[in-house]
Structure 1
Amino acid sequence: MNRLVFAAVADDDTGASDLAGMLTDQGLRTLLVIDLPTAEQFMVWSDGYHAVVMAEGTRNLSPTEARERTHAAIRLLKDRQPRVLQIKYCSTFDSTDEGNIGPSIDAALDELKEDFTIALPSLPVNGRTTYQGYHFVHRLLLSDSPMREHPLTPMTNPNLVDLLSRQTKRRVDLASYRDVEAGAEQLKRRFESLRAEGVRIALVDCLNDRHLETICRACADLRLITGSSAFGMKMPAIWRERGWVSEQKDNGGDAPITAANDRGCLIVAGSCSDATRAQNEWLQARGAGVTNLHPKELLNGNINMATLMAQVRDQVAAGRHYLLTTTNSHIDVREVQQWGLSNGLTVPALGQTIAYALADLVLEVLDDLPVGGLIIAGGETSGALCRRLGLGALRVGRNIEPGVPLCFSLGSFRLPVVLKSGNFGETNFYGKALGAIAHPAEYMI
C-alpha cells in the first residue's frame, strides 16, 4: 500500500471538499472521508490515493470536543504515514472566540509532537486576503463583510492574530507582508526566528497568487500546516519536484461513473448567505421546481410529505431539477433564532437541529426516488446530509468553480454529489454544477 503524500483534517464537509478539489485539479487522486471510519474501512477506501481529506465537523463543537475529534482523526491518518498533514479551516476563519481552530491546531501539534506551524487563512483566488494580520473578504474587512451576519459564527474581529490567540494557549505572532515580499528564503528565516522566540503559530499575510507560491515554498519542510484550501493549489508542484507524487491506479473499488441524464437532480440549500440566495433565485427563474421549507414547520413536523414527494417525483422523473431551501433573508434568520432561544435552543444547537431535520426529509425523498445527482449548499447542511445519508467517503473530481468539485459517493447512495460552501460560487453556479453532473467523465480522474 502506498504512503500518502498528504492528509488533512477539515472542520466541515464543504471545506473538506474545497481542499480536495484543489488537490484533484493539480492531478492528485484524492479521497474525502466523512467522520471516522473503522481502521479497516479506512485502509480499503484510501488505497490508491495520493491524498485523503477527513471532514470532521468540528467547527461548531466545543473546544474540548474539537480537540478530541482532531486527535482521533490524526491518529487514524498516521497509519498511512502522510508526508504532510494540514488542519483545514475556512478562508473566512469561521469560528468563535473559544475556537474550534485553536483547539484543533493544538491537538495536531500535540499528536504529531511538533513545536511550530503556520496559519494561512487566505485564499486569493476567492477574494480572501490577509494584510498585517487583518483579514479581508473581497477588499472588505472580515467584520464588514457578509460574514458578520453568519447565523452560527458571526465574524466581528478581523484581527486574526488576536482572534487565534484567544483560542490557544500557544503564542501566536505575525509573518508580515514585508517578510513574504522578501521571498521564500527570507520568509523561511522569519519562521525560524519566530520559532526561536517561542512563537508556535505564525499567521502569514498573503495578498495574491505570487505570495501564495512564496509561502508554500517557505513552509515546504514543515510536517504540519494549517489554513485554507490555498495550499492545495501550490504544494502539489513542490511535492512533484521532490519525487513524492507517483502514478496511482484505481484499486478496483471505484465504481464506474456514468450520468443519469434521464433523471433530474435534487438541490438542497440550507445556507442563508447572499451568494446562495442569489443562486436559488437564478435556478428558480429557469423553471426548477422549488419548495421553501420554513424552519419552524420543519422542526414541528408540519410538512405535508405526501404533497412534497409527489411534486419532487413528478419533476425529477421528467428530468427536471428540484430545489429545497429554507430561509430567504437575514430577517428570517433572526426571527427563527429568537424562536429557537424561546424554546431553549442556542443558536448553534438550532442550526444543527434544522440541518438534521432537513437531512431526514431528504433521506425520505431519496429512499423513495433515485435522482440524477445531489447538490448541497451550506456547511452545516452538507455535514448533516452526508452523515444522515451515509455517504461515507467521496471520490473527488476536478473543481466546477474554485473550491467546489464534483464528487461521487462511495457509501449508501452511489451518486454524484456537489458540496458548496454557502458563500462560494457565481450566481449561475447551479447551472455549472448540473452541467458537470451530466458529464462526469470530464471531471473525475
Structure 2
Amino acid sequence: MLLGCIADDFTGASDLANTLAKGGMATMQFVGVPTEAAPAECEAGVVALKSRTIAVADAIAQSLAACEWLRAQGARQILFKYCSTFDSTKEGNIGPVAEALIERLGADVAVVCPVFPATGRTLFNGHLFVNGRLLNESGMQNHPLTPMIDPDIRRWLAYQTKGEVGLVPYATVRQGTAAIRAALAAEAAANRRLAVVDAVADADLNAIGAAMAEAKLVTGGSGIALGLPANFQAAGLLSGRGTSFSQATGPAAVLSGSCSAQSRAQVVAYTARHPGLLVLPDEVISGAMTTGKAFDHVMGRIGLAPMVYSSADPDEVKAAQDRHGKAEVAEAIEGFFGELAVMLADAGVARLVVGGGETSGAVVTALEVERFHIGPEIDPGVPALAAEGPRPIRLALKSGNFGAIDFYDKALAALGAP
C-alpha cells in the first residue's frame, strides 16, 4: 500500500476511492478498521469510519487505529478525508482528529482543503463556497446534525483546535507548486500546523497535490486527492492494474435518508416514475411504521425498483427532533434503514442505492460489508461499488448534496440490470 486514507463517513470514503481509482491507483475501500492485512494489489486503501458525529474522543481513537493499520500495510502517506462542506460542529470532529494525526505522524504541517470544484465546492480567502454561495447560505446551515453557520474555515477550525490556523491564499496557489510548498514551510516555521489552502479549480488541486509529494499527512475533501496519484506515478510505483468491478443482475431498491435540498429534489423526480414510501420519524419511534411493513411494501412492487425515503423539509425534521431529541431521531431512522437493507438483501435484492451519509453508514454496517471494489463513476464523487462480505450486493452510496436530479435511475443502471 502506498497511500492510506481515513474517511469520516461511508459516502465520503467511496467518493475518495472513486477519485483515486480514476487517478490510476488500485484502490479498495474497507469498512471499519480491518483485522487482516490488505490484499497485496491494493495501492490506495480507504478505511471508512462512521466518525463524523460521534464523541470527539471516540472519533480520535478510531482514526488513530485506522492510521496504525494503514501504516502497518506500508502506507507512505496518510490522507484524512472529510466532507467538502466541512461538516462538523464547533466542538469537532475535524480539527481534533487532524491534530491527533499530526501528533501521531510527527507532521510539521498539514493542508486543510475541503474543495471539490466538480460539485461546486471552492475555497477563497479561507471561505468555503457551494455553487457560488457562501457555505452558510447554501442550505448547509440547515443540516440536522452539523449545521454549517460560518463559511470561514480558519475560524471554524479555531473553535476546534488548540493552535493557530494558517492560510495559503489563492494568490500564492496561482503561482504554482513551488510557491505552495514554500508557503507551507513558512506556516510550519510559524508553528501553524494546520494550514487552510485556497483552491477554485482542478488545476489548483493538482498543484497542491504536487506540493504534497513528501507530506506525511494531507487533509481535505476528495478533491485534494486529485493530484496525489501523479506523485506515485512519477516515482514509478503504480502498477496500472486498476480495480475489479462487475455488475449484478437482479431486483433493485432505493433508500434515502438525506434531507438536503438536492436529495429532496431527487426524491421527487424518482417517485414521479417509481413507487415511493415516505417514512416519518414519529411513526418509526411510535412503532406505527415497522421495517416489516416497509419490506412488504417494497417486495410487493420490487419489479418497479421502489424507493423508501425519510427525506423531509428541515422544519419538519427540526420539529421531530424537538419532540423526541436529535440523537433519538437519528438513531431510529438509521436503525430502520439498516435493518430494512438487510431484509431486502436477504430476500434477493441485488442492487441497492442509498442517499445520505449517515444512512449509508448505517446500511453498510448492517450489511456487514468488509470491503468494496470500486466501479465506474455515476455522477461526480459517486462510484458504483461491489461489496465483499456475507451479502455480495452492488451498492451506490450518495452524499446528500451530490448527484444530478436523475441520479437514482442512473445509479441503478450502473449497478446492473433487472
* Shared fold, TM over 0.5: yes
Aligned to 2:411: 433
In the TM superposition, what is the alpha-carbon distance from 1:423 to its structure 2 partner? 0.5
The partner residue of 2:275 within 285, 289, 295 is 289
1:28 corresponds to which residue? 25
Query: 2:213 — aligned with what?
Result: 220
CA-atom RMSD in angstroms: 1.8
Per-residue deviation at 1:302?
Answer: 1.8
Post-superposition offset of 1:248: 4.3
Amino acid at match of 1:233: L
Q: Deviations over 1:378-425 (max 9, x none)?
A: 011011111111112111123111110000110121011100001000
- 1:264 and 1:322 in contact (8 A); partners too: no
1:272 aligns with 2:259: yes
Task: Tell me if structure 2 keeps the 8 A contact 1:88–1:229.
Answer: yes
Residue 179, structure 1, aligned to residue 191, structure 2: no
Separation (CA, whole Å) in 1 of partners of 2:291 and 2:214: 55
Q: Is the 8 A contact 2:115 2:224 kept in 1?
A: no
Asked whether 1:18 is paired with 2:15, we answer yes
1:374 aligns with 2:352: yes
Q: 2:59 aligns with which of 50, 53, 66?
A: 66
* Alpha-carbon contact 1:48-1:249 (below 8 Å) kept: no
1:93-118 deviation digits (Å, cap 9, x = unpaired)? 00001111011111211221223111
Q: Deviations over 1:14-59 (max 9, x none)?
A: 0101100111112222111111231x2xx1x533111111111111
Which amino acid letter does the alignment assign opposite residue 131 of structure 1? F
In the TM superposition, what is the alpha-carbon distance from 1:305 to its structure 2 partner?
5.2
Q: Which residue of 1 aligns with 2:322?
A: 338
> Aligned equivalents of 2:125 and 2:417: distance in 1?
44
What's the counterpart of residue 328 of structure 1? Answer: 312
CA displacement, residues 332-363 of structure 1 (integer Å, 9 cap, x when unaligned): 2122111123xxxxx24532332122212332
TM-score by length of 1: 0.90
Write the distance in 2 (CA, Å) between the matches of 1:138 and 1:258: 33
Q: Which amino acid aligns with 2:214?
A: D
Q: Secondary structure at the match of 2:62?
A: helix
- Counterparts of 1:88 and 1:305 in 2: how far apart (Å)? 33
Residue among 352, 355, 363 paired with 2:334: 355
C-alpha distance in 1 between matches for 2:207 and 2:247: 40
In 2 relative to 1, CA 238–199 (structure 1 residues): closer, same or farther, beyond 3 Å?
same
Deviates most, 116-125 or 239-248: 239-248
> What is the aligned length?
418
Q: Is 1:75–1:111's contact at 8 Å kept on the other side of the alignment?
A: no
SS of 2:248 mapped into structure 1: coil
Local SS of the residue matching 2:4: strand
User: Is the counterpart of residue 410 in structure 1 residue 396 in structure 2?
Assistant: no
1:398 is aligned to 376
Aligned to 1:364: 343
Deviation for aligned residue 1:300:
2.5
- How many Å apart are 1:82 and its aligned residue? 0.9
Shift of 1:164: 0.8
Any idea what the Cα deviations from partners look like across 1:235-288, whole Å, max 9, x if unmatched? Answer: 2123211212124488xxx7x83431xx331111000111111111111112x1
Amino acid at match of 1:37: P
- Is the Cα contact below 8 Å between 2:116 and 2:222 reproduced in 1? yes
**Aligned partner letter, 2:260:** S
| Other structure's SS at 1:66 match | helix
For 1:344, the equivalent position in structure 2 comes to none
Give the TM-score, by structure 2 length.
0.96
Q: Do 1:130 and 1:207's aligned partners in 2 also have CA atoms closer than 8 Å?
A: yes
